[in-house]
Structure 1
Amino acid sequence: MTLSEPPAPAAASLASANAVADLEHVFAHAPLGVARLTAEGLLCWTNAAFATVLDARADALLDVKLHDLLDHDGSRDQIDRMLRDALAGHSRSIDVDLRAPSPRAHTKHCTLRVWRVDSEPSSLVASLERAPHPPVGVDAGELATLMERAAAGIARIEPDLSMRSCNPRWSEITGQSRAQALGRGWIEHIDPDGCAEFLDALLAASLDAQRLHGRLRLLTVEGEVRWIDVVATPLPATDADRVAGDAAPGAPMVLTFSDITENVEADHRAEELTRVLEATPDLVAILDPGGHNLSWANDAFRQFLLPHEVHETSMLAMLDEWSQAQYATSTLAALARTGSWQGELTFANGFGDEIPVSALLVAHHGEDGLIEAISLVARDLSDLRDAEQRVRASEIRLAALVEHASDLVCVVRPGGRIVYTSPAVMRVLGHSPGDLEGRNIFTFAHPDDLERVKVAAAELTNTPTMSGPIELRVLHANGSWRHFEVVATNLVDNPAVNGLVLNARDVSDRVEAAEILATRAYHDELTGLPNRALLLERLREALQHAQERRRMVGVLFLDLDRFKIVNDSLGHTAGDELLREVARRIQDIIRPGDTVARLGGDEFVVIINGMVRRGDAVLAARRLRRAIAKPIKLGSDSTVVTTSLGIAVAEGHESPEDLLRDSDTALYRAKDQGRDRADMFDDHLRDQAVRRHSVEQHLRRALDERLVEVLYQPIVDLKTDAITGAEALVRLRELDGSLMLPSEFIDIAEDTGLIIRLGAQVLALASRRAASWVSRYSGQSLHVAVNVSARQMADSSFAQQVASELANTGLPAELLSLELTESALIEGNPTTEKTLNQLTALGIQLGLDDFGTGFSSLSYLKRFPIDFVKIDRTFTDGLGTDDNDTAIVKATIALSHSLGLRVVAEGVETIAQRDLLKELGCDFGQGYLFARPLDPMAIETMLNNQRSS
């Protein structure tokens, strides 16, 4: 082991007193200064060489702390850190100024090294030797002064990366004190992002004794970033380094550094500017001081120059002939005189394309005032020139369009003075274009529109670029007023226009058509009277006024009696004239404040406003009936029609719909009670209406849930008294379990249109039941009769529906009889007649029900394919007791047989009636004498009994 190295572990581990004594003997005579220290740094033994280095006696150094030997206090922290590192097993050496504890002692520049005794972890050993002297001619103090005052930063970094010393420049840059920086404290101010990389490089340079140069980013105590340019130079090893053999490997490094933050930030700004210039679509370039050749160009310019390179391109080579002359004279002269030039040039790119550009050249001068470079920024004007050309072409086209447009175009000053009119003014207003220029446009507006037009014009004038439509009437040269739609645009701020531009279109035809449509939307086309929509609106207004004035409103619902007969007999033209005449007579009767409306067909409604008594409505109804009942001349014919009226009076908060419905209900009662009368809506009718509504809801529910029931009343052959079939009679089951008779719901079904669904369900049920009888009672040819309404017969799909039921059930067509009312035939619906023929073609038996009770002509028996007639019970009741009834029945049977028709008598209740019918030759009978309407099981019981007998 040499004295320059710390003791080897084997030697340090000697525990015996003799071994320690021997070791101390060796160190006592060693040439290297050696001392033992406590963990606190107290000198407890030194050899003679240690004292000699300090020019002191050995006994004068005992019990003296190591940092008390320092020449100044600046290195106390450094000594304390050295002792702590040694106790932790890390040996270090430093150059330090020491002096003996004596007033006459001189300061010695020494190299001090401290390490731990492994056998005694709390004991330390120090070595001390004189440090090398500065070069001849420069003493240590002068070197220290130079280092302190150096503009560059200087620091010594040990191989273990601890800072041994530094000048004030480190603190000036980072804000960290030198005491805090020494040791490894300086590393805390290296930016973490590059710290590990720098330290690895520094350590590698120390190990290889190589010079290191680079940039390092530091963080100040305030968190600011500072950039330094740093050079690390290895130092040759000193005697102290060689003695301390266990020190970290590598050479100490001297760091010289300078703050280059401003340069780095300038570089960053230059890089950012370069990126911006590279990204801009404008052409940017740098020219030489003479403005002749390009030295740099951005990407846009480089693409423009393809296939040439920047360094190959002169400015003149890029210009066309005219621009070359301009550039060589006025452009360069302006640059020399004013330092900048702006104008247009024409470039010729590498492919020979000529491109107009807007160019700006700026000269950049150095401190000597001479031009160092010229910057060029140019923007391609090709798209702008193309756009300008398109605008000019568009202006030419626009002028042509305006000159030949069908719409009128005017330009007026804000005050209304006309400065231009297009040629269309002759066609739309009858004026020559020049005749209107200088005149005020407001003089042509309709007086009723003038104020509105002036307000719109003022609003338009006060809002630049505003555009808005307005409609008004304009005076034509012939004195008539024409409707115009005007779109006005404020172009007062446009120097080329300096006014309001009016685009006017004659919309007179459209306005007139709209007025006609509006009239048709609220008026009846035939009579010109208000229709239902306008009626409800007027009625709503009347009710509101009546409530405010505590008056009543009356509604009279009129229906012409037997208008259809008149219409069919005299023709539709006469019928239309009749309706127009009735409308005129009603208008003549009512007061000016009242309203009459036609709802369609022969129905009219009159609103009586401001009534004081309910009787006022009755009096009005009487006057209307008398006026309408007077003879009406229709061409060469004269006819008289009567009127049925329903009256409803509003005294509270009734709605228009409620009032109209109530008057309609009263009208129905008036017609049911004989027509040609007026009837007032009352509580009884209200109760009927409530009951009617209840029945309707019950009927709808029964149809939805298929709860319709069918009973069957037997039809008997009067010759054999045998049952040959049955009539299907519909019933509704009420909530209490009772059956509702057809008289309570059939009319409602007809009125609401539910008769179609009801008839379809009855037909389906009866067809399935009859089909079951065919299979069960084969050989008896039992048929089923089903009643069919006029609405069903008018349905074009009814015959197909019947055919589908026959196919689905398997019922032979000849065993299905359909009974029609006279009303189904009297309406003369073409669809009805077609349906009758289709049913006959299927083989269905057709009968005329309630024969003799309607208003049909006997010609219907011959005209339509009827197979049988049914005598109504009103005639059967008088058989044998009423001569007229007996005669009618007898005649009906005889007439039917003469036409080849079978006869069925309804309402047979007595044996006498049956016997007389047999005597008169009636074919079939039906009535309570034979059986009441029965459910299917009861009918089948009768059939079983008949078969067994």
Structure 2
Amino acid sequence: MTLSEPPAPAAASLASANAVADLEHVFAHAPLGVARLTAEGLLCWTNAAFATVLDARADALLDVKLHDLLDHDGSRDQIDRVLRDALAGHSRSIDVDLRAPSPRAHTKHCTLRVWRVDSEPSSLVASLERAPHPPVGVDAGELATLMERAAAGIARIEPDLSMRSCNPRWSEITGQSRAQALGRGWIEHIDPDGCAEFLDALLAASLDAQRLQGRLRLLTVEGEVRWIDVVATPLPATDADRVAGDAAPGAPMVLTFSDITENVEADHRAEELTRVLEATPDLVAILDPGGHNLSWANDAFRQFLLPHEVHETSMLAMLDEWSQAQYATSTLAALARTGSWQGELTFANGFGDEIPVSALLVAHHGEDGLIEAISLVARDLSDLRDAEQRVRASEIRLAALVEHASDLVCVVRPGGRIVYTSPAVMRVLGHSPGDLEGRNIFTFAHPDDLERVKVAAAELTNTPTMSGPIELRVLHANGSWRHFEVVATNLVDNPAVNGLVLNARDVSDRVEAAEILATRAYHDELTGLPNRALLLERLREALQHAQERRRMVGVLFLDLDRFKIVNDSLGHTAGDELLREVARRIQEIIRPGDTVARLGGDEFVVIINGMVRRGDAVLAARRLRRAIAKPIKLGSDSTVVTTSLGIAVAEGHESPEDLLRDSDTALYRAKDQGRDRADMFDDHLRDQAVRRHSVEQHLRRALDERLVEVLYQPIVDLKTDAITGAEALVRLRELDGSLMLPSEFIDIAEDTGLIIRLGAQVLALASRRAASWVSRYSGQSLHVAVNVSARQMADSSFAQQVASELANTGLPAELLSLELTESALIEGNPTTEKTLNQLTALGIQLGLDDFGTGFSSLSYLKRFPIDFVKIDRTFTDGLGTDDNDTAIVKATIALSHSLGLRVVAEGVETIAQRDLLKELGCDFGQGYLFARPLDPMAIETMLNNQRSS
């Protein structure tokens, strides 16, 4: 038989029977409830799926009218219209609430569709969206009609995954014609991302005769994505299947599917909206239709107000008493009347806080006009209320300041007419406020200043801004001229002012003081001696004369021993008197051509001109020491002070700065040697360079032979007094067994570049020690802090070196802190910034060491990824005794905490310092109060004691 030959009668009969069987199987397994109706809506028969939708038996529905299944009488008109339209050949579907004719039946919300059977115009067919069971007694024509007109898509897929048939819904969804879809053409419109997975699952379901259900993404001919819900149900084998001996293994599958793209996209939009609402800092919630209880709240709302679960939380329970009354009356009434309400409420959260908010509530209505839900969006007004309160307080203070300020405040019109003067005008100019109002302010300016003042006023009038301070002389009521500093602000456009606001301060005393200072620019105010500026001029002249006359110049640098003790014990007045007496005694000792100057504090410098021998300077120093050491009468007390002197001698070739430096160096050696002595700058000081070389060699040997040692000083949590970590402090073991302090070799290491190797060894030792603490003291999270130099930070391989140490030792990155000096940051090295970012990425904690002692800049805390700052011991030392130090520490702690940084105070040596640091909120402390730098065994003993206690 060829393809052009008609089929034999037996084959045709078999094909017709197979078609009927296919249709019967389609409705047997499609998710549709099907019923046959009379024109009056009487149910003649139903399939099992129809009864399942209503949780009823099929026989209980026979001879029941559709109207009798309605849950609400109001839907009868809908049913009548659907029946009339179906009889007229217009099929359509409606959503109705139906229930079985049983007292115990529950209402089901169903989608009902009714259409006319073409072969019997007075007969109707109805479908419900439920999983169908095979209808009984339906002919092939009706099944074909049902399949073509079904709201859901229906297709038959053979075991070889070819499509045998489908209804129009496939083409409506994909745009692919039915002819193109048949065979394997339908697979082309499955999204490649997931296609293989779906086909594998479908093939497995066919082989196992199992049902398959899920979601599938299709591509239309225009390339659009469509989502379908798909159910694949196996068909039992038909006669045709049994005749075809070469058919692929497995059962044919019926695909029923529906387009859910809009639902999926709506879900995606809802998810996106939910993410946005969760991320917003505003308080967002959904309430039930009555506005009584919460059904959903975003994260901000939950964290801010709800210590418990959101669901069914009472709205009134979250409001204070006043807001409860307002909400229960006006708010809910407005929602019912207008659909929205906006105003202010006060929430009372579960933590005892009251939070004022600006709230917007909107009622959302359904198609039936009833409220389905109420949305609430609220913004915390706490900061705004605080700001308003501060503004009001500021306005009150400002008014009080203006009325009681020592400075004069005036308001003048652009032409100069005075319209207001503050009461201070009586004190500063001798006029009552009323005497000046209406007069022109220029009449009070000094003639020599008048033109300059008029020009400044004209420029300010044409520019809405503030002028820089301008000084002028103003006529006093007693006829004298007073010096004023004036700052003017143009507020002509401000209707509340409509003029220029002048803030004038009487600076007559300052001007007079400046004139006095100008005459004293080269002299010390306390002693009348030359100051540094005049000293350098005199020294430059002395060196020039010495070179011309082949003489020498001696410089004696004096420092009073333990002057601070005298100053602190007897008071600053006695200290000043002591300095004046010392200056007088020095002047009595030196020759008329010599110079004595005071550099500040208790430091004096004497220039000895025209020396012939170096010993002349030594003799002069001896005379000075004897004269100063005599008892000095200070009021009713008598005291004796000694003097340390540094001597430098030049023959005219050195600069003044060099000579002062050399004498200062000699002075410090004298102080180091026990004070009350004079030392001359000579070869011995140059020998220090030899010592420097020796230290460098020792450092190199220590690095080569790994003789570097590390001590550990505990870092204590000031809240709990518990040791939370330690700072690693490097030491070098000298040949005599003593330890060399960092002050002796760190500068040399920096200058020679050995700091890179030294830092690497310290990092390795500290990391290994800290890693051992992790295993030995589990649960204590003990960290180690390591100092890092500017050279290390500028090394591009440093971050990798740190990462390697962490990997080698197993030390968690968060337990390693690196302390940087400000010098490591101020250079602005790009490599340094890159290294900082790399260290932060590793999880390393970064700290700014000795904060406030160098070139401190707040920009460092903002620009660089700093985690903590260390307050230098120089400020800790003055805590509670020095107002400036206390204020600096307090400000540093407050600033750091506002930036989210932790604070460590160094140099804590007293209980009073510790207690004040606790009071100021400092996080950690370090110093001799807790422990000196300890070797590893000693600090582990402390940790053991802490663990046992």
TM bracket (short chain): 0.3 to 0.5
Contact 1:903 1:924 in 2 (8 A): yes
Comparing 433-442 with 593-602, greater Cα deviation is found at 593-602
Comparing 855-864 with 441-450, greater Cα deviation is found at 855-864
Question: 2-side partners of 1:111 and 1:259: how far apart?
Answer: 15
Indicate how the Cα distance of structure 1 residues 140 and 640 shifts in structure 2: closer, same or farther if over 3 A, else same: closer
Q: CA offset at residue 684 of structure 1?
A: 49
Indicate how the Cα distance of structure 1 residues 768 and 587 shifts in structure 2: closer, same or farther if over 3 A, else same: farther
Q: Alignment partner of 2:469: what SS? A: strand
Comparing 310-319 with 34-43, greater Cα deviation is found at 34-43
Indicate how the Cα distance of structure 1 residues 547 and 82 shifts in structure 2: closer, same or farther if over 3 A, else same: farther
Contact 2:849 2:870 in 1 (8 A): yes
Contact 1:108 1:130 in 2 (8 A): no
Question: 1-side partners of 2:896 and 2:82: how far apart?
Answer: 145
Indicate how the Cα distance of structure 1 residues 397 and 9 shifts in structure 2: closer, same or farther if over 3 A, else same: farther
Q: Alignment partner of 1:14: what SS? A: helix
Q: CA offset at residue 361 of structure 1?
A: 2.0
Comparing 255-264 with 721-730, greater Cα deviation is found at 721-730
Indicate how the Cα distance of structure 1 residues 692 and 643 shifts in structure 2: closer, same or farther if over 3 A, else same: farther
Indicate how the Cα distance of structure 1 residues 575 and 783 shifts in structure 2: closer, same or farther if over 3 A, else same: farther
Question: 2-side partners of 1:277 and 1:851: how far apart?
Answer: 42
Question: 2-side partners of 1:916 and 1:56: how far apart?
Answer: 81
Q: CA offset at residue 570 of structure 1?
A: 44
Indicate how the Cα distance of structure 1 residues 692 and 661 shifts in structure 2: closer, same or farther if over 3 A, else same: farther
Contact 1:293 1:314 in 2 (8 A): yes
Comparing 273-282 with 634-643, greater Cα deviation is found at 634-643
Indicate how the Cα distance of structure 1 residues 800 and 27 shifts in structure 2: closer, same or farther if over 3 A, else same: closer
Comparing 338-347 with 912-921, greater Cα deviation is found at 912-921
Comparing 194-203 with 538-547, greater Cα deviation is found at 538-547
Superposed CA offset, 1:233-257 (max 9, x none): 2222233433445543322222222
Comparing 632-641 with 285-294, greater Cα deviation is found at 632-641
Q: CA offset at residue 13 of structure 1?
A: 35
Superposed CA offset, 1:761-808 (max 9, x none): 999999999999999999999999999999999999999999999999
Comparing 95-104 with 896-905, greater Cα deviation is found at 896-905
Question: 2-side partners of 1:914 and 1:313: how far apart?
Answer: 47
Q: CA offset at residue 703 of structure 1?
A: 41
Q: CA offset at residue 472 of structure 1?
A: 4.0
Contact 2:286 2:297 in 1 (8 A): yes
The higher radius of gyration belongs to: 1
Contact 1:560 1:644 in 2 (8 A): yes
Contact 1:74 1:179 in 2 (8 A): no
Q: Alignment partner of 2:114: what SS? A: strand
Question: 1-side partners of 2:250 and 2:296: how far apart?
Answer: 48
Indicate how the Cα distance of structure 1 residues 243 and 928 shifts in structure 2: closer, same or farther if over 3 A, else same: closer
Q: Alignment partner of 1:616: what SS? A: helix
Q: CA offset at residue 280 of structure 1?
A: 2.8
Q: CA offset at residue 227 of structure 1?
A: 1.9
Superposed CA offset, 1:572-604 (max 9, x none): 999999999999999999999999999999999
TM-score (norm 2): 0.40
Q: CA offset at residue 430 of structure 1?
A: 2.8
Question: 1-side partners of 2:127 and 2:862: how far apart?
Answer: 152
Question: 2-side partners of 1:802 and 1:9: how far apart?
Answer: 90
Match of 1:7 in 2: 7
Indicate how the Cα distance of structure 1 residues 472 and 925 shifts in structure 2: closer, same or farther if over 3 A, else same: closer
Q: Alignment partner of 1:104: what SS? A: coil
Q: CA offset at residue 397 of structure 1?
A: 3.6
Contact 2:599 2:605 in 1 (8 A): yes
Comparing 652-661 with 854-863, greater Cα deviation is found at 854-863
Count, aligned residues: 949
Q: CA offset at residue 207 of structure 1?
A: 2.5
Superposed CA offset, 1:891-938 (max 9, x none): 999999999999999999999999999999999999999999999999
Superposed CA offset, 1:636-670 (max 9, x none): 99999999999999999999999999999999999
Q: CA offset at residue 11 of structure 1?
A: 26
Q: CA offset at residue 315 of structure 1?
A: 2.8
Q: CA offset at residue 341 of structure 1?
A: 1.9
Match of 1:440 in 2: 440
Q: CA offset at residue 269 of structure 1?
A: 1.7
Indicate how the Cα distance of structure 1 residues 524 and 703 shifts in structure 2: closer, same or farther if over 3 A, else same: farther
Match of 2:393 in 1: 393
Comparing 227-236 with 843-852, greater Cα deviation is found at 843-852
Question: 2-side partners of 1:530 and 1:906: how far apart?
Answer: 40
Indicate how the Cα distance of structure 1 residues 257 and 799 shifts in structure 2: closer, same or farther if over 3 A, else same: closer
Question: 1-side partners of 2:150 and 2:717: how far apart?
Answer: 146
Question: 2-side partners of 1:132 and 1:899: how far apart?
Answer: 66
Comparing 918-927 with 749-758, greater Cα deviation is found at 918-927
Question: 2-side partners of 1:902 and 1:51: how far apart?
Answer: 71
Superposed CA offset, 1:559-580 (max 9, x none): 9999999999999999999999
Contact 2:61 2:100 in 1 (8 A): yes
Superposed CA offset, 1:99-140 (max 9, x none): 999999999999999999999999999999999999998776
Question: 2-side partners of 1:43 and 1:864: how far apart?
Answer: 80
Comparing 458-467 with 91-100, greater Cα deviation is found at 91-100
Structure 2 portions without partners, runs of 5+: none
Superposed CA offset, 1:279-300 (max 9, x none): 3333322223332333333333
Match of 2:534 in 1: 534
Indicate how the Cα distance of structure 1 residues 254 and 423 shifts in structure 2: closer, same or farther if over 3 A, else same: same
Question: 2-side partners of 1:678 and 1:731: how far apart?
Answer: 33
Indicate how the Cα distance of structure 1 residues 136 and 852 shifts in structure 2: closer, same or farther if over 3 A, else same: closer
Contact 2:631 2:639 in 1 (8 A): yes
Q: Alignment partner of 2:6: what SS? A: coil
Match of 1:791 in 2: 791
Indicate how the Cα distance of structure 1 residues 193 and 613 shifts in structure 2: closer, same or farther if over 3 A, else same: same
Comparing 901-910 with 21-30, greater Cα deviation is found at 901-910
Question: 2-side partners of 1:378 and 1:198: how far apart?
Answer: 46
Question: 2-side partners of 1:205 and 1:120: how far apart?
Answer: 39
Question: 2-side partners of 1:763 and 1:241: how far apart?
Answer: 80
Q: CA offset at residue 267 of structure 1?
A: 1.6
Question: 1-side partners of 2:324 and 2:509: how far apart?
Answer: 66
Question: 1-side partners of 2:944 and 2:379: how far apart?
Answer: 111
Contact 1:12 1:118 in 2 (8 A): no
Q: What does 1:4-403 align with in structure 2 at a 5 Å threshold?
A: 147=147, 150-403=150-403
Contact 1:5 1:245 in 2 (8 A): no
Superposed CA offset, 1:286-320 (max 9, x none): 22333233333333333344444434433333333
Comparing 881-890 with 259-268, greater Cα deviation is found at 881-890
TM-score (norm 1): 0.40
Contact 1:646 1:667 in 2 (8 A): yes
Contact 1:306 1:351 in 2 (8 A): no
Indicate how the Cα distance of structure 1 residues 612 and 582 shifts in structure 2: closer, same or farther if over 3 A, else same: same
Superposed CA offset, 1:480-518 (max 9, x none): 444433333345566665654432223445556667888
Contact 2:15 2:240 in 1 (8 A): no
Q: CA offset at residue 39 of structure 1?
A: 56
Q: Alignment partner of 1:251: what SS? A: coil
Structure 1 portions without partners, runs of 5+: none
Q: CA offset at residue 362 of structure 1?
A: 1.9
Indicate how the Cα distance of structure 1 residues 789 and 940 shifts in structure 2: closer, same or farther if over 3 A, else same: same
Q: Alignment partner of 1:850: what SS? A: strand
Comparing 277-286 with 267-276, greater Cα deviation is found at 277-286
Contact 1:295 1:311 in 2 (8 A): yes
Contact 1:78 1:182 in 2 (8 A): no
Q: Alignment partner of 1:56: what SS? A: coil
Question: 1-side partners of 2:32 and 2:894: how far apart?
Answer: 167
Indicate how the Cα distance of structure 1 residues 270 and 586 shifts in structure 2: closer, same or farther if over 3 A, else same: closer
Contact 2:47 2:133 in 1 (8 A): no
Contact 1:793 1:831 in 2 (8 A): yes
Contact 2:31 2:131 in 1 (8 A): no
RMSD: 31.1
Indicate how the Cα distance of structure 1 residues 305 and 185 shifts in structure 2: closer, same or farther if over 3 A, else same: same
Indicate how the Cα distance of structure 1 residues 552 and 331 shifts in structure 2: closer, same or farther if over 3 A, else same: same
Q: CA offset at residue 228 of structure 1?
A: 1.9
Contact 2:411 2:501 in 1 (8 A): yes
Question: 2-side partners of 1:353 and 1:713: how far apart?
Answer: 43
Indicate how the Cα distance of structure 1 residues 89 and 601 shifts in structure 2: closer, same or farther if over 3 A, else same: closer
Indicate how the Cα distance of structure 1 residues 269 and 426 shifts in structure 2: closer, same or farther if over 3 A, else same: same
Indicate how the Cα distance of structure 1 residues 413 and 530 shifts in structure 2: closer, same or farther if over 3 A, else same: farther
Residue 462 in structure 1 maps to residue 462 in structure 2: yes
Q: CA offset at residue 270 of structure 1?
A: 1.7
Contact 2:756 2:791 in 1 (8 A): yes
Indicate how the Cα distance of structure 1 residues 479 and 342 shifts in structure 2: closer, same or farther if over 3 A, else same: same
Comparing 379-388 with 658-667, greater Cα deviation is found at 658-667
